[in-house]
Structure 1
Amino acid sequence: MAKLLYSATMSLDGYIAGPGGDMSWLTEHLGTPNPTAARLVTRVGAVLAGNVTFGGDDPNKGTDKEGAFGGQYHGPVFVLTHRPPAEPVAGVTFVGDLQTAVAKAKAAAGDRYVNLLGANVARQCVEAGLLDEVLVFIAPVLLGDGVRLFDSPGGRRVRLEPLADESAHWYRVVR
């Protein structure tokens, strides 16, 4: 059965995007091969993104590396939004509520991961008790401001346990 995994590259001070969703800071940190990231791409069966992330800044825009996982992911994409576009987008399913989006993405993923993209959709999954794992790559930079990995003022404590991995911070949600 599919698991929900939130993976992101984060600055050392906790941001996954700069002010206004700027992702240009990430470009200089993307060229180095990472065995964990390479393995992950093969284990993702579906992507569930928030609408802001889906329509947002791509540090690889206009190159052959544009898209999820540096253009390496080619599978089902689900976007959680109350404002789907007027025209369909090839390969993308727009869904209006979290439970339905998660169910559709899990069905599409089979026994692989549903990779969450976007801090807002990840926060919603945490609040709904749906998140299974978190994988964080840390870039050696301090952004100072922007979109936090998790931002939930007044939110509840969620316990995590480390999963064995040498090149990233990967955790299982403790239930």
Structure 2
Amino acid sequence: MGIVQAQAIMSLDGYVAKPDNTIGPLFDWLQNGEVAIPTPAGDFTVHLTAPSAEHWRRWASSLGALVCGRTLFDVAEGWHGRHTLDVPIVVVTHRVPADWVEAHPGAPFTFVTDGVEAAIARAKELAGDRVVAVAGGTIARQCLDLGLLDEVAVDLVPVVMGAGNRPFFGELAATDVLLGNPTVCVQGDRVLHLVFPVQR
């Protein structure tokens, strides 16, 4: 089985969205370089600096499945049935959106109603030996609390939001969680790509 990696684009003060759920300049680095890379689903093209492009290609090609919560799914409008990264999606939810499922037959989405652990187990089955990415702070926090994460990946953007609606992890059950030294540290333009192992 592959690793489970929480992933977020984050401000210096730990936010992944502003109080009104907008992202401000967090995603600007995806369009500030000279290397054009179509997304796996072909829905748009990112323009990255050479270091960020190399990191992006390596990361995107390693993914086997993505786990998210219902809030992110709803905000993204279910990616219209096909995620930008073109991998199977496992959505943790209390209620399956029956109308959406009916409107998107064959979409590679699985809705899990019996908790985060079940969602991660299903994503691992789908991903095989590839990476399971966990998107969304609430789900990432639950995975960290439950000991399900192997790595934390952060695209750290040099902006201080001052306040936000969505911190990456939020309030953990544990007082402190110590991560290992970064195994990846790539300097892009207005972004620093970092991957930390979770110590157990």
- The question of whether the paired residues in 2 share the 8 Å contact of 1:162 and 1:169 is answered with no
Of residues 135, 138, 147, the one that matches 2:153 is: 135
Residue 26 (structure 1) aligned with residue 29 (structure 2): no
Secondary structure in 2 matching 1:161: coil
Structure 1 gap segments, 5+ residues each: none
In structure 2, the CA distance between the partners of 1:98 and 1:153, relative to structure 1 (3 Å rule), is closer
Residue 44 (structure 1) aligned with residue 94 (structure 2): no
Structure 2 gap segments, 5+ residues each: 34-47, 187-192
In structure 2, the CA distance between the partners of 1:124 and 1:154, relative to structure 1 (3 Å rule), is closer
User: Which one-letter code corresponds to 1:121 in the other structure?
Assistant: I
User: Which one-letter code corresponds to 1:12 in the other structure?
Assistant: L
Structure 1 match to 2:112: 95
Of residues 147, 171, 174, the one that matches 2:196 is: 171
Structure 1: which 4+ aligned runs deviate by more than 6 Å? none
User: Which one-letter code corresponds to 2:121 in the other structure?
Assistant: A
Structure 2 match to 1:106: 124
TM-score (normalizing by structure 1)? 0.85
TM-score (normalizing by structure 2)? 0.75
- Structure exhibiting the larger radius of gyration computed from Cα positions: 2
**Over the residues paired in the alignment, what is the CA RMSD in angstroms?**
2.1
Distance 1:57 1:140 in 2: 25
Structure 1 match to 2:17: 17
User: Which one-letter code corresponds to 2:199 in the other structure?
Assistant: V
In structure 2, the CA distance between the partners of 1:40 and 1:56, relative to structure 1 (3 Å rule), is same
Q: How many residues are treated as equivalent by the alignment?
A: 166
In structure 2, the CA distance between the partners of 1:74 and 1:57, relative to structure 1 (3 Å rule), is closer
1:154 Cα deviation after fit: 5.4
Structure 2 match to 1:76: 88
* Deviation by residue 1:42-101 (Cα, 9 ceiling, x = unmatched): 00100000111111259xx89xxxx75xx2x11210000102212214221110111211
